Amino acid sequence: MGNTEVYKLNVTEACSYIAGVLAEQAAEEAWLQQALRVLSQRSEGSLAFVEIVNETAEELTVDLEGFGTITLAPKERVTRAVGEKAYEYKAYIPSLLPVSGQYTFENGFHYTWVFSTR
């Protein structure tokens, strides 16, 4: 008969471990809630503009409805003219879960989306 190792599972230790893993995931997910800071200011013209800023140390990928995938290097920024409507978006960096949602732009404003992990 072969060698068989038996592991005893202490329920309290297992629960503590799981709680630690969940707390770590919650901390990572906190960036989802705070990753997107939206600043806006009135601008001239009939369109809205969105400037996307990557303040992370990693490559940021933003899927913006109607614009496809926009990839930004660390500290890079890009600007796109957008129409007045609600847009679905999804943003992610390799080490964290994505942030997604919907944002409504109004014509005549310049929006700045700042993504960071702070």
114 neighbors 72 (Cβ within 8 angstroms): no
* CATH classification of the domain holding 102: 2.60.40
Mean pLDDT value across the chain: 75
- CB neighbour list of residue 111: distance below 8 Å, 6 or more residues apart: 38, 39, 40, 48, 49, 50, 51, 105
The verdict on residue 3 lying in a domain is no
List the alpha helices (DSSP H) in the chain.
11-34
77-87 pLDDT, tens digit each? 999 988 888 99
The verdict on residue 2 lying in a domain is no
46-65 pLDDT, tens digit each? 788 889 999 889 999 999 99
The verdict on residue 91 lying in a domain is yes
What average pLDDT does the segment 90-114 reach? 87
Q: At 103, list the tokens.
A: 């944002």
Domain that holds residue 27: 11-115
The model's confidence at residue 26, banded by pLDDT at 50, 70 and 90, is: low
51 neighbors 79 (Cβ within 8 angstroms): yes
Q: How many domains does the chain have?
A: 1
> Is the pLDDT confidence value at 110 over 80?
yes
The verdict on residue 27 lying in a domain is yes
35 neighbors 115 (Cβ within 8 angstroms): yes
The verdict on residue 56 lying in a domain is yes
Q: How much is the pLDDT for 4?
A: 41
> Is the pLDDT confidence value at 103 over 70?
yes
The verdict on residue 5 lying in a domain is no
The verdict on residue 6 lying in a domain is no
